[in-house]
Amino acid sequence: MSDSPRSTTPFELEHGGQVRAGDAATSVRNDIRNVAIVAHVDHGKTTLVDAMLKQAGAFRANQVVVERVMDSNDLEREKGITILAKQTAVDYDGIRLNIVDTPGHADFGGEVERSLNMVDSVLLLVDAAEGPLPQTRYVLQKAMSHHLPVVVAINKIDRSDARSEEVLDDVYELFMDLGADEKQIDFPVVYTNAKTGTSTMNLADEGTDLRPLFELLIEHTPAPRFIPDHPLQLLVTNLSANDYVGRMAIGRVWNGTIKLGGKIVILREEAESTDGSIEPGRTITLTGTVTTLTTAHGIERVDIAEAGPGDIVALAGIPDVTIGDTITDPSDPRPMERLDLDAPTLSMTFGANTSPLSGREGKYVTSRHIRQRLEREVLGNVSIQFEPTESADTYEVLGRGELQLAILIEQMRREGYELQVSRPEVILKTVGGETHEPYERITVDIPPEFIGPVQAALADRKGRLEQMSTDADGRVRMEYVIPVRGLIGFRGQLLTDTRGTALMHQIGEGYGPWAGEVTHRTSGVLVSDRQGTSNGYALYSLQERSELFIGSGEDVYEGMIVGENARVEDMDVNATKEKKLTNMRTHSHDEAIRLTPPRELTLESAIEFIGADELVEVTPKSIRLRKRILSQHDRRRAAGKEYEMRVSAEKDKD
């Protein structure tokens, strides 16, 4: 342990968690540029990076390259979105261009914020037809708060419904809404077609390659500044793992140099203890030796012997390194400010699977396994947190949104974990003695004939209409501010009400006063009252009054949800009942049972569907819904106690 106070840093803090070179940084490194590409989901970031890599010669002439090569994660390829920020590098006219491809979804904002701590400029990509959308606002807001210069690229100019000039006006309006200063609003613009790998500075001129884009980025991205003869400062913004060398820290060298085999140190402030056993200002000192030092070249990482200011590197040498640490020189340690990220807004409980079918499909089934997996996730993902609960086998996991938590559950499922998760709940705050809850700004894009049902559904969920406009293709775009509670389960209802034609995008709006009770699910469920195997004869009689989640021949147990009831109340049913055999003759049509195909549950739809007294059972092969209390008798007894407590509370008020 060390009693030394936190060392000062020769950097100015222009924004919480963002470090920029101060006046003392007098030297400039002209052979490097660091750029982050930010955009709304599916506006073409990763496709553009593909084209940049190909034209910069990052691939061999005979190399087979898949589309969206930067989306290396299976889930990223399936969902068509970027989840993890990734760095690559290309050489153009003797200058190394370090490019960071960031997620476009606000749920993965932690990845965006960390990426902006490594770069000196931002390439903002906007769809030539859709224009700026909520996530465009989110990522641009982050970039502007870090005082980074912005280069705007209007992408997909080949679309039949492209309206590049109108979209550029919308971008100017967005900059003004976000309070851009004179320098920021005077941004350069380039028009691109990522799919064909072309760019142009003027729409009247047809582009032939991405040379205008490369030259614009190099011209408008400030070269890295540093202080000569300053000790090492490397801010860790990401982590990766290697089977041979263990945990690797990824970050940018702000000052000094780092060498393979060199000694390094981390000074980290101790967390405050509730019992007062740790003195304020105490720090932990972690020392190590650089055993591996790599940097990106194209889509591969190459070993290097030394890295200087402006380089983005990955290194191994300190097993306990975490995001936000500063790797510095043992002879003169100078830690930098730690990252400051947005707080989580949603929580879910993750617990060991306690259903009668647990342990049949998964490899990791105990609460110890779940805890270890969550600990690993927290180390590499600073926007996820978890805490123990009153139950020994359940943990509360906090995150930015439903999608982020659903991605984590899906990753655990594919790794062989069995668990049960609850419905997402919002994280409340008390401000001035009043309860405040998180709000989101959503944009709903629908055909005009569905305006009525969508507005009615959003009104029930306490949504407030802020803006409404009609696009050139006749579709209506409505902007609402709505409590996060109101969005839980809304996406499925929206797609049902609009027959699958709606598009919805969302972004955090901050905290506001409690909006009152919000309508969630208006229908009850069918609950199996016994364990066994579902039977077509029993399901045939149930499908007349419900929509089933299971088919014939599936294992069921008491408390398992087998369908959605057409009425408001829950109904206990026997899904295993068989037709009794008799010696009486019957008509052939009585034996021809035709079952309607069951509704296929995805992880996202299951999480949105369940109520407060229900759980989602997740295994590598199955997704099931169940009641939190399995026994029918125990559920009725709990409901009776709840009713008595409610009546007693009302009497006390009177």
Could you say which of 223, 247, 274 is where a domain stops? Answer: 223
- 340-399, pLDDT tens digit by residue? 666 788 899 999 999 999 989 989 999 999 999 998 888 767 678 899 988 888 999 998
Confidence (pLDDT) at 76: 41
Confidence (pLDDT) at 301: 79
Instruction: Dump the DSSP string for 425-481.
Output: EEPPEEETTEEEEEEEEEEEEE-GGGHHHHHHHHHHTT-EEEEEEE-TTS-EEEEEE
Within-domain flag for 550: no
Which of these, 136, 134, 141, lies nearest to 124 by C-alpha position?
136
For residues 197 and 275, state if they share a domain.
no
First to last CA, the chain: 60
Within-domain flag for 275: yes
Within-domain flag for 60: yes
For residue 242, what are its two tokens?
């290697």
User: What's the burial of 472, exposed, middle or buried (CB within 10 Å: 0-12/13-18/19+)?
Assistant: exposed
| Amino acid in position 2 | S
For residues 260 and 234, state if they share a domain.
yes
CA–CA distance, 567 with 326 (Å, rounded to integer):
58
Alpha carbon dihedral 623, 624, 628, 631, in 10-degree steps, equals -150
Within-domain flag for 155: yes
CA–CA distance, 141 with 325 (Å, rounded to integer):
25
For residues 63 and 112, state if they share a domain.
yes
Contact indicator for 379, 390 with CB cutoff of 8 Å: no
Could you say which of 328, 347, 380 is where a domain stops? Answer: 328
Strand partners, 252: 235, 312
Question: Domain tally for the chain?
Answer: 3
For residues 200 and 70, state if they share a domain.
yes
For residues 79 and 216, state if they share a domain.
yes
pTM over 0.85: no
* Full domain range(s) for residue 259: 230-328
For residues 169 and 313, state if they share a domain.
no
Within-domain flag for 650: no
Within-domain flag for 73: yes
Within-domain flag for 69: yes
For residues 157 and 286, state if they share a domain.
no
CA distance readout (Å), 257 to 91, 239, 250: 21, 20, 15
The single residue listed with the structure tokens 């003797």 is 94
Confidence (pLDDT) at 348: 92
* CATH number of the domain that residue 99 is part of: 3.40.50.300
Phi, psi of 7 (to 5 degrees): -75, 150
For residues 127 and 210, state if they share a domain.
yes
CA distance readout (Å), 465 to 40, 55, 237, 442, 514: 22, 46, 38, 10, 17
Confidence (pLDDT) at 86: 60
For residues 196 and 49, state if they share a domain.
yes
Contact indicator for 488, 423 with CB cutoff of 8 Å: yes
* CATH number of the domain that residue 248 is part of: 2.40.30.10
CA angle 158, 160, 165 (to 5 degrees): 70
For residues 213 and 285, state if they share a domain.
no
**Which residue positions in the chain have pLDDT lower than 70?**
1-25, 41-43, 56-86, 103-111, 134-135, 241-243, 269-282, 339-342, 380, 382, 472, 582-592, 654
Given the DSSP bridges, would you call strands 86-92 and 32-39 parallel, antiparallel or unpaired? unpaired
For residues 207 and 242, state if they share a domain.
no
Could you say which of 328, 349, 371 is where a domain stops? Answer: 328
Within-domain flag for 369: no
* CATH number of the domain that residue 478 is part of: 3.30.70.240
For residues 169 and 239, state if they share a domain.
no
Phi, psi of 537 (to 5 degrees): -65, -40
Alpha carbon dihedral 407, 408, 414, 418, in 10-degree steps, equals -130
